[in-house]
Amino acid sequence: MNLATRMIVTLTSIGLISGSFLAIVGQVTKERIIFNKKHEIEMAALKVVPGASNVKMIYEERDFAIFEDRDETGNLIGYALQAAGTGFQDKISLGVGVSPDLNTVLSLIIIDQKETPGLGAKITDEISFLQYWKNRDCSKSLILRKPPVDNPNSLAPNEVNAITGATISSQAVLNIVNEAIKKARQLQAEGKLSERH
């Protein structure tokens, strides 16, 4: 065998062996990877509406999705909005639970973020940020309280506490939520969130 053929034969066979090996690995892991991705968002959608026992995606577009949350008897108890937008460093992806009339934020969860550790990353922290998002009145736009107050009861119904030193990340989350609720309201007006019991 001359050199050229040998080169071709070796590279081809290495490529073939690797390729078939990877095909098997890909097959084995494919389902789980897709499941993981879906599962993560669905779990978040379930969690943001307290008392929900099953969710169903009813609307989806780029960086935005709406889930219906129903309790055990099948009553609609809220919507979970999954939305993403620009944070301080990278995209922030979050889930927010809202009441069926879209006027109350039930709770918030951060699905993915790459904010500054110890500062902006505190948006995932229950005590310093997420707890202030329980039962907020979002019939008008939510606004940020800065500097934050110690007593959550002194916040107005449509206010949420900012994180000290991380106003930009807090503001980013707020904007994403406000934007998502606006979008959901528009879709509701168009009748795309029709209630099917």
Partner 1 sequence: MAEKTRKQEFFKGLWGENPITRQLLGLCSVLAVSNAVINGLAMGLAVTFVLIFSSLIVSLIRKIVPNQVRIASFIVIIATFVTIADRTLAAYFPHLSKAMGPYVPLIVVNCIILGRAEAFASKNKVSRSVIDALGMSGGYFLTILLMGLIRELLGNRTILGYPILGKWFSPWVVMLLPPGAFIMLGLIIAISNVIDFKIKERQKRV
Partner 2 sequence: MKDDLKDKAKSRELSLIIESSPHIRDKDTTPKIMYRVIISLMPAVATSFYFFRWRAILLILISTASAMITEVLCLMARRRTLKTVLDGSAAITGLLLALTLPPSLPPAMAAIGASVAISLGKQVYGGLGHNIFNPALVGRAFLQAAFPVAMTTWIPPVTLKVDVATYATPLGNLKFQNAIALGTLTPLKDLFWGNVGGCIGETSAAALLIGAIYLILKKTIDWRIPAGIILSLSAFTTVFWLINPDRYAPPLFHLFAGGLIIGAFFMATDMVTSPITRAGIWLYACGIGLIIGVIRLFGGLPEGVMYSILLMNTFVPLFNHYLRPRILGERRPKK
Question: Do residues 147 and 167 touch, judged by C-beta distance below 8 A?
Answer: no
Residue ranges of alpha helices (H) inside the chain are 3-47, 167-189
Instruction: Name the site residues for partner 1 (rule: CB under 8 A).
Output: 3, 6-7, 10-11, 14-15, 18, 21-22, 25-26, 28-29, 32-33, 36-37, 40, 112, 116-119
**Using CA atoms in the order 30, 34, 36, 37, what is the torsion angle rounded to 10 degrees?**
140
Which of the listed partners (partner 2, partner 1, none) does 25 bind, with a CB threshold of 5 to 8 Å by partner kind? partner 1
Residue numbers of the site for partner 2 (CB under 8 A)?
118-119, 147, 164-165, 168
Q: Residue 29 CB, nearest distance to partner 1 (Å)?
A: 4
Q: Which of 164, 186 has the CB closer to partner 2?
A: 164
In angstroms, rounded to a whole number, what is the distance separating the alpha carbons of residues 67 and 184?
11
Our CB check for partner 1 shows the closer of 121 and 138 to be: 121
The interface partner of residue 147, options being partner 2, partner 1, none and the CB cut-off 5 to 8 Å by kind, is partner 2
Amino acid at 102: L
CA dihedral 86, 92, 96, 102 (to 10 degrees): 10
